[in-house]
Amino acid sequence: MELAQARETRKVVTVLFCDVTGSTALGERIDPESLRRVMARYFETAKAIVERHGGTVEKFIGDAVMAVFGVPAVHEDDALRAVRAADELRDRLGELNDELEAGYGTRLELRMGVNTGEVVTGTEERLATGDAVNVAARLEQAAQPGEVLLGEETYLLVRDGIEADASPPLEAKGKSEPLAAYRLVAVQHEAPGRRHGARMIGRKRQRELLEGTFANVTSDRSCHLFTILGTAGVGKSRLAQEFLSGVNATVVSGRCLSYGEGISYWPVTEVVKQLVPAGEATGPLASILGDDSAAGSPEEIAWAFRKLLEAQAAERPLVAVFDDLHWGEPTFLDLVEHVADLSRDAPILLLCMARPELLDARAAWGGGKLNATNVLLEPLAPEETAELVDLLAEGAEQGLRSRILEAAGGNPLFVEEMVAMAAESGEEVAVPPTIQALLAARLDQLATAERSVLERGAVEGQVFHRTAVAALADGGSVDRELVALVRKDLVRPEQPLLPEDDAYRFRHLLIRDTAYEALPKATRAELHERFADWLAVNGLALVELDEILGYHLEQAYRYREELGPLDDRAAVLAEQAATRLLAGGDHALERGDGHAVIGLLSRALALLPPADPRAPAGQLELARALSDQGDLDRAVVLLDEAVSAAREAGNERVLARSRIARIDFEMMLTPDWKMAEGLAEAEAALVDLDRIGDDDGAIWALRVIGSLIGWLGNNGEAQARWRRAIERGGRAGNRFVNDVLGWMLLGAWWGPTSTAEVRALADEALRTTSSKRLEGYARVVRGVAIAAQGRLEEGRTEVRVGKTLLHDLGDRISWAGLSAMESDMELGAGSPEHAYRALADGAEVLAASSETGYLATVLSMQSLAALELGRRDEALSLTEKAVEIAVQDDIDPHARDRVVRGRVAAQRGDFGTAGELLQEAGRMIELTDFAALQLEVALACAEVARLAGRTNEERAALASALAIAEAKGHTVAVERIRAQL
Ligand SMILES: Nc1ncnc2c1ncn2[C@@H]1O[C@H](COP(=O)(O)OP(=O)(O)OP(=O)(O)O)[C@@H](O)[C@H]1O
Ligand SMILES: [Mg+2]
């Protein structure tokens, strides 16, 4: 009998409700005394059946029986047990009914409901409390007499082992959605097998070992006991099956059952049935086949069984397979060892598969024998797991595949189940119910102290520290437990993150989750809080301390909130959590990690009381980060909120900074805005920022001023403003300075700075920065510069690395905007198709964000690429779109529009229009220092002259293009132009 747990736990159980119909009518016919006896018989039968399947009868309400499967200990097949019990109850009632019919001329009918779900157990008054119980009751009430209705969760767990029809969904009180229900038709006798979704991966060594062992067995005519050990789902049965499919031998097999009466010899009887024709078994073997006239002691049975195997092996080598040995009864295990020890002169391979729990019961299994091998089957290697994921989840998006890969930890069953779950629900990978049941069953077998250590570790996370667990264990011991947990392969030693400590990693994230989810929420709240207290003192070495502390304090608060009502302590927790998360947000800003910024700041703001003075600044930063990610709608809303909150609080700094943020947003969202006006507004805001002494704000303002001046055509002056921003003395690593540095690099490329110098600037940024975002910018710029110097492939790689970095940081706007830069490189290299593709991708992302400012340039470049590809109409329509959304004084798309239209006109023979348009373009860029754009115009002029047959003019245009390219140090362009000359 398993020990009842006194402590409160959350667990997934299966609840069976069974009610009798017709007992009221029966009460009219028979004497109360007889009725009482009849009902007692029914209850007794029900209780016996439930208990035989490992369930616990909770109580009788009127005529109803409620049974819970999973209390006190969870089994991996609780749902199937419950359904089998229901089926058997229905059958057995038939016998009872026959007696009732004979004795009283009446019958009883049962209605049953079975449902699976999370409940709380271990509370004093009841075995299980939770919605899952109510649903089971509701199913039972809705069932027709004689019917068993299964809830959705139960059905999903047992569907491979039963037959059932969908039943119309049930309306239920207090449920927003009707309940899905399935009518049980029949239960299969065989336990359901596994899917075998993919071809076999890996396991070559183990197969060879098996084959070698079998070869020895045959050549030496000896018996060998080969045991494959490994955790559930790791692939023991599959390995055996693969081996057997190619083996030249008689194969017999039996498996141990997880429960049942008289199952000691079950696997033996299966084998006997395969070897001896029905009815021909004699002596001890007949006794285990249920022939009551025969008799046999365990020794006699073992002897007879061995003789049977030997006789068989005399004709042809024999492989006897016994699966799931961890469920084997001692007499059966003795029998296997007996065969291994005593068998002589017969080629017999005893192939056994077992989970490591076998060693809990039989530490010495296979030990001390010369003819025995134990092999531990490890999880698949990461590459093998990835292969399996790719096979099973073909076509699934990469993110999902890598999450499955990560969570499965090399266990093929987990991979299969998670892939199946993701395919069915299309949702995030959670713990699939089958795996949940498997792991929960495994954890329920742990000693209470081990369990408790595991749960405390789970509070810290997938990796946890010894001293933390000790601190949470109320002085209880942890070292012995940790060793036991390592031995049971639930956790592994891991490099500690904290000095002078030991760390452990959960073998799978799923084990962590299962352990964690068993904790009542009140306990989780308390443990998170205590862990945060511990970490605040002991975790000073952690880089992301604020973030981690913020998380644990937040969890402590959130669980209290779920349980309600909130008290003063909860308010303090929320405040502390928000403070840490805000600090974490600051670090993330400095790393340039937009994803993290958004996560941390949103969570912090959700915890702050509305009037907290820190809220407006947080909202402003969040708005900025959201706009980088292309979520401009939310960004604008948040900016408005920040402004009104700042106004209310008289927060001048946020008000002044918001003016700058607003300019950035206008540029991206408002086509009829003017850069010149933005510039004036930025200068005004800068005065404000200077007045209140906000240096960082001033740096930001100068960044924006520089950008606007650059776009308006004066990149040299822009650089001067940016230099001034940096001289404001923002400390190194300051994110406002990082932003400026990023822009300096872009401006340097578009402007007159030489390619070599651009590259040196990028190198310098890469050497000094710790911001991932700045690194992304610097790599792209560096790559473009390298390509211009003639090393195209190297440059492309660098651009790709930079863009991937920005992509991973979630900085969609930069990622998309930089496609203009990338296309400049590709067009320069004579690969318009590459340029076109990059621009089309960028344009799609910007358009999806309703962005227009960068999009104008991207579309304009795309039009140029289309023209290079000879698609004139498309080029014209793209440039039309570009100028439609470009702000009036954004020179780049407007000038390029004339270039594209002029070239098309010339290509169509209209040299008059072409000349006018190019002149217009020339006037637009005359006073600017846009080197790249000037080169474009000069080359276009050369092309038009060439098409018109005006050789001298062409030569002159090429000469001026050459001068620009030489000044820029654009080696590739220089060479191309020289060749044309
Ligand atoms: N090497 C492998 N390549 C591909 N699929 C595999 C591999 N190993 C196992 N699988 C698949 O993973 C699932 C689980 O494997 P299997 O049933 O052999 O596990 P097990 O170790 O016997 O588990 P249990 O202890 O529960 O019996 C099966 O569907 C199997 O086909
Ligand atoms: Mg198996």
Query: Largest Cα–Cα distance of the chain, in whole Å?
Result: 124
Q: Which atom of ligand 1 lies nearest, measured to the CA of 232?
A: 25
Q: Which of 753, 698, 752 shows the shortest CA–CA distance to 721?
A: 698
The tens digit of pLDDT for each residue in 207-264 reads: 999 999 999 999 999 999 999 999 999 999 999 999 999 899 999 999 999 888 778 8
Q: How far apart are CA 679 and CA 799, in angstroms?
A: 31
pLDDT of 2 above 60: no
Helix (H, G, I), strand (E, B) or coil at 17: strand
Closest residue by Cα to atom 5, ligand 1, is 200
Distance 355 CA to ligand 2 centre (A): 9
Q: Which ligand is nearest to the CA of 420?
A: 1
Q: How far apart are CA 397 and CA 908, in angstroms?
A: 46
Q: Which atom of ligand 1 lies nearest, measured to the CA of 231?
A: 25
Q: What is the pTM of this model?
A: 0.81
Distance 370 CA to ligand 2 centre (A): 26
Closest residue by Cα to atom 23, ligand 1, is 233
> At 353, phi and psi to the nearest 5?
-125, 135
Task: Choose the residue to mutate in 201, 227, 238 for probing ligand 1, maximizing ligand atoms within 8 Å of C-beta.
Answer: 238
Is 552 touching ligand 1 by the criterion CB < 6 Å?
Answer: no
Q: Position 925: which residue type? A: I
Q: Which two tokens stand for residue 6?
A: 């006194």
Give the model's confidence band at 731: pLDDT under 50 very low, under 70 low, under 90 confident, else very high.
Answer: low
Is 202 touching ligand 1 by the criterion CB < 6 Å?
Answer: yes
Residues in the chain, overall count: 981
Q: Which of 301, 216, 236 shows the shortest CA–CA distance to 267?
A: 301
Please tell me whether the peptide bond between 565 and the residue prior to it is cis, using omega within 30 degrees of 0: yes
Q: Position 684: which residue type? A: A
Helix (H, G, I), strand (E, B) or coil at 181: strand
CB atoms closer than 10 angstroms to residue 6: 9
Q: How far apart are CA 859 and CA 933, in angstroms?
A: 15
Q: What is the mean pLDDT of residues 101-124?
A: 85
Q: Which atom of ligand 1 lies nearest, measured to the CA of 240?
A: 18
pLDDT of 979 above 50: yes
Q: CB within 8 A of 809, min separation 6: which ones?
A: 592, 593, 594, 595, 772, 773, 776
CB-based contact 974:935 (threshold 8 Å): no
For strand 162-170 and strand 223-229, is the pairing parallel, antiparallel, or unpaired? Answer: unpaired
Distance 471 CA to ligand 2 centre (A): 39
The tens digit of pLDDT for each residue in 461-515 reads: 999 999 999 999 987 789 999 999 998 889 999 999 888 899 999 988 889 999 9
Torsion of CA 604, 609, 615, 616, to 10 degrees: 140
Q: Which of 627, 684, 675 shows the shortest CA–CA distance to 655?
A: 684
pLDDT of residue 407: 85
The better pLDDT of the pair 189, 781 is held by 781
pLDDT of 1 above 90: no
Q: How far apart are CA 326 and CA 257, in angstroms?
A: 9
Q: Which atom of ligand 1 lies nearest, measured to the CA of 415?
A: 12
CB-based contact 297:330 (threshold 8 Å): no
The tens digit of pLDDT for each residue in 732-747 reads: 668 899 999 999 999 9
CB-based contact 183:164 (threshold 8 Å): yes
Distance 323 CA to ligand 2 centre (A): 6
CA 422 to each of CA 396, 416, 417, 455, 640: distance values in angstroms, whole numbers, following the listed order: 9, 10, 9, 27, 39
Scanning the structure block, which residue is given the tokens 């017709």?
22
Is 410 touching ligand 1 by the criterion CB < 6 Å?
Answer: no
Cite the DSSP H helix spans in 105-173: 131-142, 152-158
Interaxial angle between packed helices 204-220 and 236-245, expressed in degrees from 0 to 180 and rounded to the nearest 10: 50
CB-based contact 45:23 (threshold 8 Å): no
Interaxial angle between packed helices 568-591 and 594-607, expressed in degrees from 0 to 180 and rounded to the nearest 10: 160
Q: What is the mean pLDDT of residues 167-181?
A: 84
Task: Choose the residue to mutate in 377, 413, 414, 417 for probing ligand 1, maximizing ligand atoms within 8 Å of C-beta.
Answer: 413
Helix (H, G, I), strand (E, B) or coil at 468: helix
Task: Choose the residue to mutate in 76, 77, 160, 194 for probing ligand 1, maximizing ligand atoms within 8 Å of C-beta.
Answer: 194
Distance 378 CA to ligand 2 centre (A): 14
Q: What is the mean pLDDT of residues 22-41?
A: 78
Is 355 touching ligand 1 by the criterion CB < 6 Å?
Answer: yes
Q: CB within 8 A of 854, min separation 6: which ones?
A: 668, 813, 816, 817, 820, 846
pLDDT of residue 426: 66
Q: Which of 630, 594, 633, 593 shows the shortest CA–CA distance to 813?
A: 630
For strand 463-465 and strand 503-506, is the pairing parallel, antiparallel, or unpaired? Answer: antiparallel
3-state DSSP percent of the chain in helix, strand and coil, to 5:
65, 10, 25
